[in-house]
Amino acid sequence: MARVCENCGGEDDEMVLVRRTYVVPESWDTPGSATTLDEPELWCWSCRSQYPHEPVDQ
Ligand SMILES: [Zn+2]
């Protein structure tokens, strides 16, 4: 049974647990930074290729 991606809601056979990372790009008055959420989510291949994230050890 296909599972549903928690990011886009699409179905995919290859779901992977990841932690979403929010990236703040560097600008002229602020250094760049990245925040990683504690709560893992199931993501499809498409979301993993488009959005920043960290893999979760399973
Ligand atoms: Zn997705």
Condensed to tens digits (0 to 9), the pLDDT of residues 3-58 reads 899 999 999 888 999 999 999 999 999 999 999 999 999 999 999 999 999 999 86
Q: Give the pLDDT confidence score for residue 20 in this predicted structure.
A: 97
* Separation of CA 29 and ligand 1 centre (Å): 33
Q: Give the pLDDT confidence score for residue 57 in this predicted structure.
A: 81
| The model's pTM | 0.79
Residues 6+ apart with CB under 8 A from 36: 19, 20, 21, 22, 54
How many beta carbons lie within 10 A of that of residue 58, not counting itself? 6
Label residue 1 by pLDDT band (50, 70, 90).
low
State the pairing for strand pair 11-12/41-43. unpaired
> CB–CB of 43/19 below 8 Å?
no
Residues in the chain: 58
* Separation of CA 1 and ligand 1 centre (Å): 16
* Separation of CA 47 and ligand 1 centre (Å): 4
> CB–CB of 7/41 below 8 Å?
yes
